[in-house]
Structure 1
Amino acid sequence: MPVVDTKADLKGKTLTIVAEFQAPIESVWQVYADPRLLERVWGPEGMPATFTLHDLAPGGRMNYFMTDPEGQKYCGYWEVIEVHEPHHIAVMDGFANQDFTPNPELPASRNDFDFEPIDGGTRATYTSHYASADELQAVLDMGVIEGATSAINQIDGLLARS
């Protein structure tokens, strides 16, 4: 499995997930740059994502929804802050209403995706920064570690089929 470490730091208000992929950095980057590839891994297994907007550029926005096995849709968005291909993406990541407006009742976070080549592949470090420990605890209680781990662990399989 690609995920090799997870750390929730309530005092620091961060969640960090580290994964190692058996693919070159350019291939891992392409997963995030291509919405059709990203749809295949964004979200836990059994909850595929659909990106209705995908603008991976500073100031850009990405809108998506995930659909559970019963057909319920869960919407989210990314507001793109920084892009340094193929090493770094920074976004504001939040839950959204059905019209993709931010849902202020649920936490948003700044997410930094950092990619670095390692011997035989790529190390990805995903760091989510929350405004408060309570917001981080809320997403931990919602199962963010399990969901993110499930999603990230699908990337090696996707790249092996490409």
Structure 2
Amino acid sequence: MTVISSTKNPEALSLVIVAEFDAAVHRVWQIWEDPRQLERWWGPPTYPATFSRYEFTPGGEASYYMTGPEGEKANGWWRITDIQAPHRLEFDEGFADDNGAPVEAMGAAHVTVTLEGIGVRTRMAVQSEFESAEQMNTMMEMGMEEGMREAAGQIDAILAEQSVA
């Protein structure tokens, strides 16, 4: 399993998932910048993602949906706030309605992804910061922590494939 830690911090309203991979930083970066690779792991195995829009640039937006085992769809959005390739990505994320508009009642989270080279390996940290304790608790009850762990567990197979130029 690639995930080495999962830390909830209710005082900081954050969840941090840390994983390590047998791949160089630039290769791990590709699983974030390429939507076809991203959708192969973003979401747990039983809820694969499909990105219908992906503007990988500061200020860019992404729209996606995850399809559940019974065919149900959960829509989501990202607004990319910072890119420092290949080491840092930041975005706001949240749930979307059927038209792709943010569901304001669910709030948004701010996500910071950092990639650090450790010899020939890469350590990836994904930190989600929530707007309130209520929002964080709701997300944990919905299975966000387990879902992120399962999603990250799919990355090794992608990285084992030949690097994309």
Shift of 1:91: 0.2
Q: Which runs of 5+ in 2 are unaligned?
A: none
> 2:54 matched to which residue of 1?
54
| Matched residue SS, 2:105 | coil
> 2:96 matched to which residue of 1?
96
Alpha-carbon separation, structure 2, partners of 1:117 and 1:25: 6
Alpha-carbon separation, structure 1, partners of 2:146 and 2:107: 17
Shift of 1:105: 2.2
Q: Which runs of 5+ in 1 are unaligned?
A: none
> 2:157 matched to which residue of 1?
157
Aligned pairs for 1:3-152 (under 5 A) are 3-152=3-152
Hey, which bits of structure 1, 4+ residues long, moved more than 4 A? none
- CA offset digits 1:91-143 (Å, max 9, x no partner): 00111111110011213100000001012310011111111111111101110
**Equivalent residues of 1:26, 1:86 under 8 A apart:** yes
Residue type of the alignment partner of 1:72: E
Moved more, 20-29 or 101-110: 101-110
Alpha-carbon separation, structure 1, partners of 2:58 and 2:158: 26
Residue type of the alignment partner of 1:9: N
Alpha-carbon separation, structure 1, partners of 2:120 and 2:133: 37
- After TM superposition, the score normalised by the length of structure 2 is 0.95
Residue type of the alignment partner of 1:138: T
Shift of 1:47: 1.5
Residue type of the alignment partner of 2:126: Y
**Equivalent residues of 1:67, 1:74 under 8 A apart:** yes
- After TM superposition, the score normalised by the length of structure 1 is 0.97
Shift of 1:62: 0.6
- CA offset digits 1:68-110 (Å, max 9, x no partner): 1111010001100000000000000111111110011213100
Alpha-carbon separation, structure 2, partners of 1:80 and 1:91: 4
